[in-house]
Amino acid sequence: MDKLIIEGGVKLKGEVTVSGAKNAVLPILAATLLTDDTCIIKGVPNLRDTNTMLKILRSLGKNAELDKGIIRVEAGKFTNFIADYKLVSTMRASFCVLGPLLGKLKKAKVSLPGGCVIGVRPVDLHIKGLKALGTDISIEGGYVVAKATNLKGAHMYLGGAYGSSVLATDNVMMAAVLAKGKTVIESAACEPEVTNLADFLIKMGAKIKGHGTPIIEIEGVKHLHGAEHGIIPDRIEAGTLMIASLITHGDILIKNVFAAHQGAVIDKLEEAGAKVIKTDSSLRLRSKGRLRPVNITTLPYPGFPTDMQAQMMSLMSVTLGISVITEKIYPDRFMHVSELDRMGARIQREGPHAIVEGVKELSGAPVMASDLRASAGLVLAGLAARGKTAISRIYHLERGYENIEEKLRNLGARIWREKE
Ligand code: EPZ
């Protein structure tokens, strides 16, 4: 395994282009199961997770290849309805093949994803929504076994204790598009990635209204045809790069980003004292001097994204003053705290809160990545720290950030790989 070495202290300057959104491409690839026609997906990031989803599609009988950012899913019928544990356990998002398998084949056997370091990751809302559509579901040997003689539209409430669910909304939507009659999803997730999926389904012939709002209405159709679609820019990668500019006191122009998807993050960074210059497809960020501490609470979109929590914590770790970070989506999503503390950060956990007392400077140290976004937080801390930081287990980072070392190196960062 490789580790990432970062020699901190360089002010990052220049231009960088954001890749396509991991969390958009995964459900959109799953949606290609809803048709026997060819589908072309453009703007696809070459990530570990993208390749895992391609393996899952192939294991189900689909012929799909990624070449220079374009995925072509060949026309052809498929009959396998079993998504096996080996693949699903490596990537939780693969659970979103459940809805399209039910929509297309009216049966599915998908391994339960299991938990991960950021939390238990239940699927009760997925099951509730699919049952509402008339699916018989049982849990057998670690698998969700589902069959639906006929899927019927239904009116359902899909909110849970932590608010709306992105992939549960996706799964239900992808089954409902081929159900008989009308489905209404209340407390639907509003994330831009859900909208990107709905737009693809509409191009395939689905009848969907209200996507991007908490109430989605779907009129079932008999058949969906192939379509061509583009993946939206990755708003979490963009947010991570925004913080890279600020934490190094640099000046980065970030291209291929929709400012409209960044409302909560831009609001907090401006509150902290950042200068943010927006155009319709780029953001330029620099700090106007010392940043101020801000308090963050993660919420479903359009609230502050939980996937930006670790990155924001790194920034607050070197912002003098006290900031309180409250994690309302995954209350245990604090694996990065102990690693940042190894670098000299002063962070105290109190249940779903982390109290950060900013220090003047972090010092480089050997640290360990635990999940995708924690790894991003550690990279940001390493860019700001005095001396060398060595981040191990960087396969976590490779899941969701395309060519991140090259992008940072082109901005002046001293960053390279070494064998563990
Ligand atoms: C998506 O996961 C993202 N992954 C996550 O990004 C992201 O953190 C999360 O949404 C929240 O924004 C993909 O899109 C592939 P949820 P998802 O269902 O859909 C609870 C990353 O780093 N819940 O919206 O699995 C759940 O425990 C990843 O890119 C239930 O209680 O998340 C959580 O507390 C990490 N029951 C909250 O809802 C359910 O049936 C939101 O989870 C489902 C979820």
Q: What is the DSSP string of 240-264?
A: HHHHHHHHTT-EEEEES--GGG-HH
CA 377 – ligand 1 centroid, Å = 19
Residues marked active site are found at: 116
Tokens of 163: 């608010």
Q: How far is 244 from 284, CA to CA, in rounded Å?
A: 12
Residue 115, pLDDT score: 65
CA pair distance 257, 260, nearest whole angstrom: 9
pLDDT in tens, 237-291: 999 999 999 999 999 999 999 999 999 999 999 999 999 999 989 999 998 778 9
**Would you say how long the chain is, in residues?**
420
Distance between CA atoms of residues 14 and 318, nearest Å:
23
What value does the mean pLDDT take over residues 141-151? 94
98 contacts: CB under 8 Å, gap ≥ 6: 83, 108, 110, 126, 130, 144, 146, 171
pLDDT score of 279: 92
pLDDT given for residue 143 in this prediction: 94
| Residue to mutate, 29, 125, 156, 167, ligand 1, most ligand atoms under 8 Å from C-beta | 167
Question: For residues 303 and 297, what is the distance between their CA atoms, to the nearest angstrom?
Answer: 8
Query: How large is the average pLDDT for residues 140-162?
Result: 96
Banded model confidence at residue 105, pLDDT cuts 50, 70, 90: very high
Asked whether the predicted pLDDT for residue 323 surpasses 70, the reply is yes
Output the CA torsion 8→12→16→21 (10° steps): 50
Distance between CA atoms of residues 406 and 396, nearest Å: 17
Element (H, E) at 228: strand 228-230
Of the two residues 258 and 116, the one the predictor is more confident about is 258
How many angstroms does the Cα of residue 376 sit away from the middle of ligand 1? 18
Which ranges in the chain are annotated with CATH 3.65.10.10?
A: 2-18+233-419, 22-230
Amino acid at 410: N
Query: If pLDDT is split at 50, 70 and 90, which confidence band does 119 have?
Result: confident
Give the model confidence (pLDDT) of 172-208 as tens digits: 999 999 999 999 999 999 999 999 999 999 999 999 9
CA 325 to chain CA centroid, nearest Å: 20
Mutate to test the pocket of ligand 1, among 164, 196, 329 (most ligand atoms within 8 A of CB): 329
Asked if pLDDT for residue 120 goes beyond 90, the answer is no
- Number of the ligand 1 atom closest to the C-alpha atom of 121: 27
Looking at the domain 2-18+233-419, which fold is it? UDP-n-acetylglucosamine1-carboxyvinyl-transferase; Chain (3.65.10)
Distance 358 CA to ligand 1 centre (A): 29
Domain 22-230, CATH homologous superfamily name and number: Enolpyruvate transferase domain (3.65.10.10)
pLDDT score recorded for residue 146: 98
Question: Which is higher by pLDDT, 128 or 280?
Answer: 128
Summarize pLDDT for 363-418 with one digit per residue, the tens. Answer: 999 999 999 999 999 999 999 999 999 999 999 999 999 999 999 999 999 999 99
